[in-house]
Amino acid sequence: MWIIYAIGSAFFAGLTSILAKCGIRKTDSTVATAVRTVVILLFSWGIVGIVGSAGQIGAISGRTLLFLILSGAATGASWLCYFRALQMGDINKVVPIDKSSTVLTILLALIFLGEGISLPKAIALLAIAAGIFLMIEKKDAALKKEGEGASWMLWAVGSALFASLTAILGKIGISGVESNLGTAIRTAVVLVMAWGMVLVTGKEQEVKAIHKRELAFICLSGVATGASWLCYYRALQEGPASVVAPIDKLSVLVTVAFSYVVFGEKLKGRALAGLVLLTGGTVAMALL
């Protein structure tokens, strides 16, 4: 059953990228992230109310609460980096780098969670890494070396690093609490962090200036993110992080498909080969 939740997480995560991209064409990414988080908070606590798990808050241990807070902080940092990169670069370039968090997540799960890795899984992991490498165009790597246009890549790399920490911290924290409640608590942490960044950077006035069309897309992306989170942390609670995380990263397939339809962004031969390797390796990780 957890595999179904992981697939649902991937679908909604892929949809999130497209909706968010539509909502940050003119709106500052930090402001958009803060607004999205409000939607996600309402969505997640609404689910908590429906399943009736709010009464369990008092029973959460200090250790579990600490890791939920740390996971939320890592998520907030990952979001701020990701949507900044998404605003500056093409979806088909940003997403593969962000998905490289899969490799680091598996390694961290091996080290800190004791989730073993067999030779077949190691080969699948190499396939995932190779696929990500191929999806990063040579000219993008060259630009990074020259220091031109490298900013979006740095933001994307930061997103991947914090995303991997999110999975590990979330796995530890979610083990002692109902998954929907854990997601809601984490979202509250992200909300504080996101709006804190808005205030620190002095962008609070930009909230009122958001165009209605972009606001609608930002809110829809928040709903999609909320659905993705609920699926992801339910899957993470029931299944191994080293398998759940790779399945979740299949959201790249949804993103690539929608980016072609909505933005006309096409994958070239090298990137397409990378996508095949990334997908194959991820599926293998789930089945082995």
Per-residue confidence (pLDDT) for residue 142, from 0 to 100? 47
pLDDT digit string, tens, across residues 104-147:
877 777 777 777 677 887 888 888 888 877 876 655 544 444 44
Report the alpha-carbon angle 27-28-32, nearest 5: 80
Best CA proximity match to 250, nearest among 228, 220, 219, 224:
228
> What mean pLDDT is reported for the chain?
82
HSE toward the beta carbon, residue 151, CA cutoff 13 A: 8
- The mean per-residue pLDDT over the stretch 56-82 comes to 88
> Is there a contact between 131 and 249 (Cβ–Cβ < 8 Å)?
no
Q: Is the pTM of this model over 0.85?
A: no
How many C-beta atoms surround the C-beta of residue 70 within 10 A? 19
Lowest mean pLDDT among 68-77, 192-201, 212-221, 243-252: 243-252
- The mean per-residue pLDDT over the stretch 252-277 comes to 79
Structural domain spans, the chain: 2-287
Per-residue confidence (pLDDT) for residue 120, from 0 to 100? 82
CA dist list (Å): 209 to 27, 131, 213, 272: 8, 40, 12, 39
Q: Give the pLDDT band of residue 210 (cuts 50, 70, 90).
A: very high
pLDDT digit string, tens, across residues 223-233:
998 888 788 87
Q: Give the pLDDT band of residue 150 (cuts 50, 70, 90).
A: low
Distance CA 208, CA 222 (A): 18
In a 10 Å sphere around its CB, with 0-12 CB exposed, 13-18 middle and 19+ buried, how is residue 148 labelled?
Answer: exposed
DSSP 8-state class, residue 268: -
pLDDT digit string, tens, across residues 198-209:
998 889 889 888
- The mean per-residue pLDDT over the stretch 163-187 comes to 81
In a 10 Å sphere around its CB, with 0-12 CB exposed, 13-18 middle and 19+ buried, how is residue 61 labelled?
Answer: exposed
Best CA proximity match to 210, nearest among 38, 26, 22:
26
Q: Give the pLDDT band of residue 254 (cuts 50, 70, 90).
A: confident
Best CA proximity match to 154, nearest among 97, 75, 223:
97
CA dist list (Å): 252 to 11, 205, 243, 264: 9, 34, 16, 16
Per-residue confidence (pLDDT) for residue 31, from 0 to 100? 92
Report the alpha-carbon angle 89-134-170, nearest 5: 70
